[in-house]
Copies of this chain bind each other. A is one copy, B any other.
Amino acid sequence: MSGMTSGGTGDEPIVYIVDDDDAMRHSLEWLLTPLGLAVRSFASADAFLAEHDPGRTACLVTDVRMPGMSGLELHEELVRRGAVLPVIVISGHGDVPMAVRAMRTGALDFIEKPLNNQLLIERIQQALRLAHTRREETRETDAIRARLAALTAREREVAQLVAAGKQNKAIAHVLGISLKTVEIHRHNAMEKMAATTGADLARMLTLVGGVG
């Protein structure tokens, strides 16, 4: 469930900025762009949610206090949506409970204004590295999921039983079909999944959560 949105090759990392304050957005753009970072900024959480590309290697820098949806609510909404992009929350009038809430939601950091530019840049670079790592980690599982989706229903059933270490005979008994048929499905599944051995198949399915 990641990385299969917006097929473009746009793989350079991007920094999303969400802040209702025009001056702050521009100031951040002026700070980050010279570093060779791609920046895309939004004046509201809704604008960000509507227009950003969830499939991209990116991080988000969001202010807390904004008209409409707050930065914290935006963060929580992203988590609800299963987003994986690292989030840095900034705030002009933050307090401890607010910071704790942001961190519990999974923010990489909660930074108070006035911003320490050096610290912010460091965090953003850390966030992008993290985004890249997560992307790498999901790359293989995405490929596996894609191949898994190409299996027929029967092949998937057989594949799961194979991955569980059952032998063909047992699988045939469980599914109420012939040993020969199991061998066919097993072979097709292994081929479609590009698995060399049964252990390979098992590894792939557990990576994807095929056991449940």
| Pair B200/A165 contact, Cβ less than 8 Å | yes
Bound-complex Cα distance A90 to B109 (A): 19
Contact mask for chain A residues 169-212; partner B; CB cutoff 8 A; 1 contact, 0 none: 00000000000000000000000000011111011001000000
A84: interface (CB < 8 Å): no
Specify which chain B residues have a CB less than 8 angstroms from the CB of A197 in the assembled complex: 165
Specify which chain B residues have a CB less than 8 angstroms from the CB of A206 in the assembled complex: 203
**One of B95, B198, B199 near A96 (C-beta < 8 A):** B95
A103: interface (CB < 8 Å): yes
Residues of A within 8 A of B (CB-CB), count: 22
**One of B94, B104, B112, B164 near A103 (C-beta < 8 A):** B104
Specify which chain B residues have a CB less than 8 angstroms from the CB of A97 in the assembled complex: 112
Bound-complex Cα distance A122 to B23 (A): 42
Specify which chain B residues have a CB less than 8 angstroms from the CB of A198 in the assembled complex: 165, 198-199
| Pair B96/A165 contact, Cβ less than 8 Å | no
A109 to chain B: closest CB distance in Å?
A: 6
CB within 8 Å of B: which A15-68 residues:
none
| Pair A163/B103 contact, Cβ less than 8 Å | no
A115: interface (CB < 8 Å): no
**One of B95, B99, B199 near A163 (C-beta < 8 A):** B199
CB within 8 Å of B: which A84-143 residues:
94-97, 99-100, 103-104, 109-110, 112
Bound-complex Cα distance A97 to B119 (A): 13
In addition to A165-B198, A202-B203, A203-B206, 4 A-B residue pairs with Cβ atoms within 8 Å of each other are: A95-B96, A103-B104, A198-B199, A202-B202
